[in-house]
Structure formats: C-alpha cells, structure tokens
Structure 1
Amino acid sequence: MNVPVSLFWRRVVTVLTGTIAAQALPLLLAPLITRMCTPQEMGAFSVWLGVVQIVSIVATLRLETAMILDHDSSDQQTCFSVIANFSLMLAIVTTIGAVFARQLGMSQAVQMNWFGLLTIGVGMWLTAYTHSILAYATSYNAFGKAAQAKVWGAGSIVLSQVLLLLLGAGSIGLMAGQIIGLACGLIAAVFLLSPPRPQLSWTPSAAQRQYLNKHAAFWRYALPADLLNVVAGKLPLFMIGLKFGLLEAGLFALTQRVLAAPISLLAASVLEVFKRQSVHEWQTFGNCRDAYTHTFKALALLGAIPTILMVLFAPHLFALIFGESWRQAGEYARIMSPLYFLNFIASPLSYVFYVVGKQRVDLVWQVALFAMTATVFFSPLTLKQCLWWYTCGYSLLYLIYLALSYRFAHHKLNLA
C-alpha cells in the first residue's frame, strides 16, 4: 500500500528543479527591480496583477482540476474547449466592465492606468489557459516539460520587466512585462506539451454541456471556494491600497511575494506530485493516508527554518536585500511568518478535498475565511493591528483546515 518514497521524491525533484529554474531569475532580480521602481509603482502593479489572478480563477471554472481525474483524450479535449470558450468570453466582458467601472468613477478603476484596465482580460486569458495546459501535463506525469514551460514564462516576465523599467516605463512596464512573459510561457507550453486543440464556439456543444454536468461539483463548489480563497488572499492588498495608499500596498505586496516564495518554489512542486499520488492511492486503496502523512511531515520540517529566520531577522534582511526603503515590508513579514508557515503546509494538502469529493466542506471554510478577512480589514484599525488580527484569524482557520484534510485523507472508502 505504501507509495515508494524514492519515486515520490524523484517526481518532486523533477518538478522542483524546473520550479527553481523558473523562479531563479525573478528571485535573483527582485532586489534590482525594487531599486528600479518605487513602492507606489509596485503597489499599482500588484493591484492589477491581483485582479488578473482573481478573474483567471473564474475563467477555468476549476475544470482544469477535473482534467487530472479524466484521462480520456476526448474528455480532455472537451475540457479545453469549455475553458477556451468561456475564458475568451469572460476576457471580453471583463475588459468592457473595467472601462465602465472607470467611467462610473469607481476608486480602484480610477487609480489604475488605462493600460492596466485594457489588459486585465488579456492577462486573465493567458493565465487561465496556461494553467489548464499545466494541469494536462500533470495528468500524464509530464512534470519535466511543464517545468520547462514555467521557466520560459517566468524568465520572460522578469527580463521584460527589467528592460521596460530601464526604459522608464514604471508600473506600466511591470504590467507589460507580465503580459509578454505570460504569452511566452503559453507558447512554450503549447509547443512542449501539445495539448488537445479546443473547438471554439460561442455556445457550448452537447458534449460540452454533458461534461459540465459530469463535473458540476467543480464549478458549483470548487470554483466559489477557490475564488473566495483568492479574493480573501488579495483583499488585504486591495484594502490596504484603498485605506492606506499605494505606498503601503507596495510594501505589503513585497511582503507577500517574499513569504510566498517557499510556497511557489517547494510546496507547489510537492502539490503537483501529491495530486497524482493522492488520486492513485484513493482509487486503489480507498484512502490517501500514506501520501498525506509523508507530505505533511516533509513540509513541516522544510518550512520551519525559513519561518524562524523571518521572525528573528526579517526587517534587517529586507533592508539589506531590497533597499532601506523596503525595511517596513520586513516588519510586516515578521508579523505574518507563522501564517505563511501554515499556508506552506496546507497548500498542497488542500487537494485532498477534491480527491474525496468534499468540495462543499471546502466552500464553507472559504466563506469563513472571507468573512474573517473582510471583518478585519474593514474595521477601523491601524495597518499593523489589521495584520496581527488577520494572522491570528487565518492561522486558526488553517489549523481547522488541516484537521479536516487529515480526517478525510485517512477515511476508508469502501471499494467493493
């Protein structure tokens, strides 16, 4: 019943190698970028990127996750068709909506430059379709080629941003660099992985409607749950920008980026392998206890040292690496490090909810998270007080989340 540990970690290392390569340039050049742009410009870019990431969740209907469960080629082509058609229509609607929001005087839309408003839909479509292709790669254990596509995308983003910042483009340069890099990453993914070609149409075919009904749990429960999770994650950035200005939003954005680095580097790599392994164990043995336990222990050990370093030295490290003007971001990192430690562990293990069909439970948890986040950041508190309460509330919810995922992973399914 036990999954060979060597096989599990060989796959993790394959994904991790590509992920490190993909993140190496962004991490190495981050100190250069923070010296080439102001916290305000970083704040404007981060708000735009947050909107793109939120809408891209809706664009896939979370059906890219279902693709890992469906290995039939016709089903996977249908999935690509549904995602391509829906995301294209959503991109058009989003762009028109952003323009109308600015004309109506909505504060976030007014603060954003015209380039940002007009490229939200483009960025969303590129992000959504690339994620779908990477999910397709996971379904076939094509971790190496997926890693190469990530390298092309991440490298193109950061190099384009540096070049445009050198030309004095400011926040527009950061946005344009993101678009260029996303396009390069998508082209690389298509070339390397040869995903099924979608059938484009304005209305869903009978096969597409049948596919949507078959995987209704994903767009009925997983989509709202994941959307609430992403919105709850971006809400602090949006609210800080509104209440305290783009300067504080830029500082907070760097805090999030640094603290999320271990998650994007290692936890995301473990997740790609855990997805496949947990599905295999569940379908074969009726539970995914072994994959869950092994992954939990490894992540807890790996996340402990970076967390301790952040708690002890974050302000000094931020000032040294990114420049003195970013020291305050280190203070925020010190406060939020315990939260990101729990996030580092829970992020890969959250896939258990999909494997065992507990999307509704996940949705309830996400509603609680969103309610807590909104309550904290809409309260008349100082920024540091908001961050303290946010960290405590989110950490408590993560402990509950881990307890639930542990219970579901160890549940014995009757396969008879």
Structure 2
Amino acid sequence: MTSFLINLFKLTTGTMIAQIVGILLIPVVTRIYSPESFGIAQLFLSIAAVLVVISPLSYHFVVMLPEKDEDSMNVFVLCIVCILSTSAIAGAVFIGFADWFGRIFEMPLIVDYLIWLPIFVVLSGLFAILNEWLSRKVRYGVLSRGIAMNSVSTRVFQIGGGLIAPSPLGLILSSVAGLTLAVLFMLRGLKEDIALLKTVTTRRMRKLAVRYKEFALYGTTGNLANSMSWELPAFMLAYFFNPTILGYYALAIMAVRLPMAVVGKSVDQVFYQKASEEKNLTGGVKTVVQEVHTRLIAVGIFPFILFIILAEDLFTFVFGASWLTAGTYARILAPWLFAVFIVSPISSLFDVLERQRAYLFFEAVILCAWAVIFSIGGSFGNPALTLALFSIGGVLMWGAKSAYLIRESGAGYRGSVLSLTRHLLLSIIISLPLVLAVFLELPFHLLLGIAGITAVAYYLLIFFTDTLVRSEVIGMVQGLVRPEHIDWMKRLGLFR
C-alpha cells in the first residue's frame, strides 16, 4: 500500500498545482464566454467523447496487462492504427452529414465546427494510450506533467481566444491546442522505448488482437455505452431545452469533475497498475480493493457534503451572478458524482478480471435508464427535475456496479458499508456549524472560513482514528522527506 500511495503522490503532486491553476482560470473563462457558447462547445465535446472511446477499440486497456514489454508495444501500435482508421471514418460521416446533425439538435452553429472533430479524436486517442504506456512504465512524472500541460494550456488558449473573439470556436480550438501540446510532450517519455518498435510486426499485432478480442467486442461496446451514458445528458438537454440550459449543465459538471479528477483519475491509473501487478503475483486483487475503496469513501465524502451546502453561493461568487443556475444544477448532481468518485477507480477491475461481458451489461442498463429518465424529465419541461431524477438514478446504478465489483474481487461488502455509514454520519455532524452559518446568512468569506475549519477537523480526525491511513501517510512522508526534517514531527507524536 505504501508504494501505491507514493506512486499516487508522484502522479497527483505533479498535476495538482497545474490543475488548480486550470480550475482557478475557469472564472475568467466564464466571464468571457456566454452560457450559450459553453452549450455549443459542450455538444461538440460530447460528440467527440463518444468517438474517442470507440477509436482504439478498447485495446488501450490491454497495454498494461501483458508481462512482456514487446507485447505491450505491439498493442500500443495496434491502438494507433485503430485510432487513425476509426477517426477518419467518423470524420467523413460527421462532416458529410453536418447539416443533418445541426437540425437534430436544433443548433445550426455546430455545423461549422464539426470539421475539427477527427483531429480532436486522434489527439484524444493518442493522449489515452500514452497515459496507459507511461503508467505501465511507472513514469508518473512525465505523465503528470503532460496532464498538467493539457489542463493549463487549454485554459490559457481559451482566455486568449476569448479576448480576441469570444465564440464556441475559441473553446473548441483551445481544447485541440491543449491536447496537441500535451501529446507532443508525452511522446518524449517514449524515448527509452524506441528499440521496442523493432519488435512490432503485423503478425504479432494480429495475434494479440485475437488474444484480447473480448476487449474489442465487449469492451468497446461497453465503453461506448459508458461514454453515451456520460454524454447523453448533454444530447438530451440540447434536444429538450436550449444551448443556455446545456451551458449551465456543462459548467456544473466541469466545476465538480475537474477537482474530482485531480485525485480520481490518478487513483484510477495507479490502482489499475497495482491491481494488475497483484493479480499477476497472487492471482487475486482482494487486498488492494479493500484498502483503496474504503479509503476513497473516507477521504472523498466530506468535500461533497461541503459542496452540497455551499454550491449556489460558491458558483455565484466564483463564476459570476449569471451562473447561479449552474450552482443549483451542481448541487443536484453532487450525490451522483460522489458515487462516481468512489466507484470509478475500481471500475478497472472489469479489465483486470476480464469481465467485459458484465461491463457491457452494466453500461447498457445505465444507458437505457438515462434515456428513460431524460425522456420523462424532458417531457415535463423542467431541467431541475430532470437532473434530480438523473442524480438519484446515478447513485443507484453506480451503487449496483460497486456491489458487483466488490463481490467479484472477493473483498466483501462489510468494510465499504461500514466506511460509508461511519464517514457520512461523521461528515454531517462536523458540517453542522456550516449549515447553521448558511441558515443565518453570514457573509460568504465567513462561510469559507468555517468550511475550512471543519475540513481540517474532519481530516485530522481521520488521520488519528484510521490506523491504515495514518500508517501509510506516515510511510509516504518518511519516504519523501529527509530524516533530519521530520524530527519535529516525531516530537509531536505523529510517527508513533
């Protein structure tokens, strides 16, 4: 577990500052672009996201699995071939029928931007497989800097483009430019592996494609359903409502998912590598699942409780008064996003345990449930009601997925249920002063101060009461800090 936390620390600390900078720049972006521009750009990105998961045919998830680097490199090149082929086909379809797609979503402006779709898909696909390769080689420093470069440069380009001519195109091209810089930087991390390209042959790629065909057959279909379930809200909101409502939703999701992704994505990558390693060594993944899942609950639940309490005030203060509705939407979606946060990292068990059929089943059921929920909510013409039904359904669906994965790993439900119950009650009790402060309508800066104090109290309590968290944090600190610099910590009794 110590090596897990150290690798996680390497991955998160390299990106933390840059991700925070990217997040801090969002208020600047929201004051330049209108909700309508956000909505149109979100529709483009939602279409692209669906295509991105199809492009490598899920073979990028295989990069981590083979014991030999030669096999992994063959899979890596196989992914590139798949990405280039599928993006070319998708580009021809969307550009050729651009007017039809514009009429479907009642957004004629989207037609002018679809020409950038294949370029975005290729860059996103390359970014994904480079993530997998660098994780396999435990080059988390290069990986973290690449992720950071994508985040910061995208925001900088958005601000620069918006100051010249604010439009959806500025948001879209900024994402393309950010990905380009990140991919070029991450390719430098492959310099040590150039010799492995000599082992790449068509015959070997074909053999590995057949060996892991269930990833392509079931994994791709499941990933498509997963991506559609993430992007379907944007499609349905565009269909039933208007670009402004979609813009509010886009900011609500972005503002919550970006901070969540700073830790969540890093945990996902490190967990996948650790679970694959443990399975190869012991034949099981029970221990790593128990340790990671219960600690994700402990660490993650309190920020979401604070966010639910402060969401509307926070959005108005940070993004401007015109984004109050986005804060309301974010509060509604927070329970679902917490469920995603604690389940997403262990979802890689579908790949580690080779349960692609089960993955496809879950994603298909979730996609169908979303279609029904948004159809019902959309028919009432009430976006808040629609998102509330969506959030409730999300908690139930992701809870069912979590239960299945825990059962298949052999970890047992008891630890996760106890952790959720204990830390939920603890979070509610510690956040009561903040609830009272909101009720008394205290100034926002005082609310932030109270929130900070309660957060410190919560995490200190976790540190001193959870023996595993305490021992692993201490082990991580001792491994990263020079011995002479931690004497004062020992005198405080922290390392006993």
Normalising by structure 2, we get a TM-score of 0.78
Tell me the equivalent position of 2:88. 92
Task: Return the alpha-carbon distance in structure 1 between the equivalents of residues 90 and 186 of structure 2.
Answer: 25
Task: Supply the RMSD in Å over aligned alpha carbons.
Answer: 1.9
Report how far residue 89 of structure 1 moved. Answer: 2.0
**Residues 63 and 112 (structure 1 numbering): CA distance in 2 closer, same or farther, change over 3 Å?**
farther
Q: Which amino acid aligns with 2:246?
A: A
Tell me the equivalent position of 1:61. 57
Task: Return the alpha-carbon distance in structure 2 between the equivalents of residues 40 and 411 of structure 1.
Answer: 46
| Structure 1 residue matching 2:354: 3-state secondary structure | coil
Normalising by structure 1, we get a TM-score of 0.93
Tell me the equivalent position of 1:400. 400
Tell me the equivalent position of 2:312. 315
Q: Which amino acid aligns with 1:395?
A: V
Kindly tell me the number of residue pairs found equivalent between the two proteins. 404
Cα-to-partner distance string for 1:166-215 (whole Å, 9 max, x where unaligned): 1014111111111111110110010133365998xxxx933322221011
Larger Rg: 2
**Residues 108 and 208 (structure 1 numbering): CA distance in 2 closer, same or farther, change over 3 Å?**
farther
Tell me the equivalent position of 1:303. 300
Task: Return the alpha-carbon distance in structure 1 between the equivalents of residues 17 and 214 of structure 2.
Answer: 35
| Structure 2 residue matching 1:60: 3-state secondary structure | coil
Tell me the equivalent position of 1:337. 334
Tell me the equivalent position of 2:97. 101
Instruction: Say whether the 8 Å CA contact 1:77–1:197 is kept in structure 2.
Output: no
**Residues 143 and 96 (structure 1 numbering): CA distance in 2 closer, same or farther, change over 3 Å?**
same
Tell me the equivalent position of 2:471. none
Cα-to-partner distance string for 1:55-96 (whole Å, 9 max, x where unaligned): 111111111110001242332232222222221122222222
| Structure 1 residue matching 2:155: 3-state secondary structure | helix
Q: Say which of 17, 40, 51 aligns to 1:21.
A: 17
Task: Return the alpha-carbon distance in structure 2 between the equivalents of residues 161 and 67 of structure 1.
Answer: 33
Instruction: Say whether the 8 Å CA contact 1:101–1:109 is kept in structure 2.
Output: no
Tell me the equivalent position of 1:384. 384
Show the 5 A alignment for 1:4-403. 5-104=1-100, 106-108=103-105, 111-194=108-191, 205-379=202-376, 380-381=379-380, 382-403=382-403
Task: Return the alpha-carbon distance in structure 2 between the equivalents of residues 86 and 219 of structure 1.
Answer: 11
Report how far residue 99 of structure 1 moved. Answer: 2.0
Task: Return the alpha-carbon distance in structure 1 between the equivalents of residues 271 and 255 of structure 2.
Answer: 24
Report how far residue 107 of structure 1 moved. Answer: 2.4
Q: Which amino acid aligns with 2:395?
A: S
**Residues 132 and 247 (structure 1 numbering): CA distance in 2 closer, same or farther, change over 3 Å?**
same
Which deviates more, 393-402 or 30-39?
A: 393-402
Task: Return the alpha-carbon distance in structure 2 between the equivalents of residues 240 and 378 of structure 1.
Answer: 10
Task: Return the alpha-carbon distance in structure 2 between the equivalents of residues 78 and 246 of structure 1.
Answer: 43
Q: Which amino acid aligns with 2:388?
A: W
Q: Which amino acid aligns with 1:244?
A: F
Tell me the equivalent position of 2:452. none
Q: Which amino acid aligns with 2:261?
A: S
Q: Which amino acid aligns with 1:35?
A: R
Instruction: Say whether the 8 Å CA contact 2:32–2:166 is kept in structure 1.
Output: no
| Structure 1 residue matching 2:64: 3-state secondary structure | helix
Instruction: Say whether the 8 Å CA contact 2:91–2:117 is kept in structure 1.
Output: yes
Instruction: Say whether the 8 Å CA contact 1:22–1:153 is kept in structure 2.
Output: no
Instruction: Say whether the 8 Å CA contact 2:63–2:73 is kept in structure 1.
Output: no
Q: Which amino acid aligns with 1:40?
A: E
Report how far residue 115 of structure 1 moved. Answer: 4.5
Q: Which amino acid aligns with 1:19?
A: T
Report how far residue 317 of structure 1 moved. Answer: 0.7
**Residues 327 and 109 (structure 1 numbering): CA distance in 2 closer, same or farther, change over 3 Å?**
closer
Instruction: Say whether the 8 Å CA contact 1:271–1:349 is kept in structure 2.
Output: yes
Tell me the equivalent position of 2:458. none
Cα-to-partner distance string for 1:301-357 (whole Å, 9 max, x where unaligned): 121112111221211110111001100011111111111111100000111121111
Task: Return the alpha-carbon distance in structure 1 between the equivalents of residues 78 and 84 of structure 2.
Answer: 10
Task: Return the alpha-carbon distance in structure 2 between the equivalents of residues 207 and 286 of structure 1.
Answer: 26
Task: Return the alpha-carbon distance in structure 2 between the equivalents of residues 197 and 180 of structure 1.
Answer: 30
Report how far residue 374 of structure 1 moved. Answer: 0.5
Instruction: Say whether the 8 Å CA contact 1:56–1:128 is kept in structure 2.
Output: yes
* Long gaps (5+) in structure 1: none
Q: Which amino acid aligns with 1:99?
A: I
Task: Return the alpha-carbon distance in structure 2 between the equivalents of residues 318 and 344 of structure 1.
Answer: 21
Instruction: Say whether the 8 Å CA contact 1:287–1:411 is kept in structure 2.
Output: no
Task: Return the alpha-carbon distance in structure 2 between the equivalents of residues 298 and 219 of structure 1.
Answer: 32
Report how far residue 102 of structure 1 moved. Answer: 2.2
Report how far residue 386 of structure 1 moved. Answer: 1.2
Instruction: Say whether the 8 Å CA contact 1:149–1:192 is kept in structure 2.
Output: no
Report how far residue 152 of structure 1 moved. Answer: 1.9
| Structure 1 residue matching 2:55: 3-state secondary structure | helix
| Structure 1 residue matching 2:284: 3-state secondary structure | coil
Report how far residue 47 of structure 1 moved. Answer: 1.1
**Residues 151 and 115 (structure 1 numbering): CA distance in 2 closer, same or farther, change over 3 Å?**
farther
Cα-to-partner distance string for 1:262-294 (whole Å, 9 max, x where unaligned): 431101111111111111222222221111111
Moved beyond 6 Å, runs of 4+: none
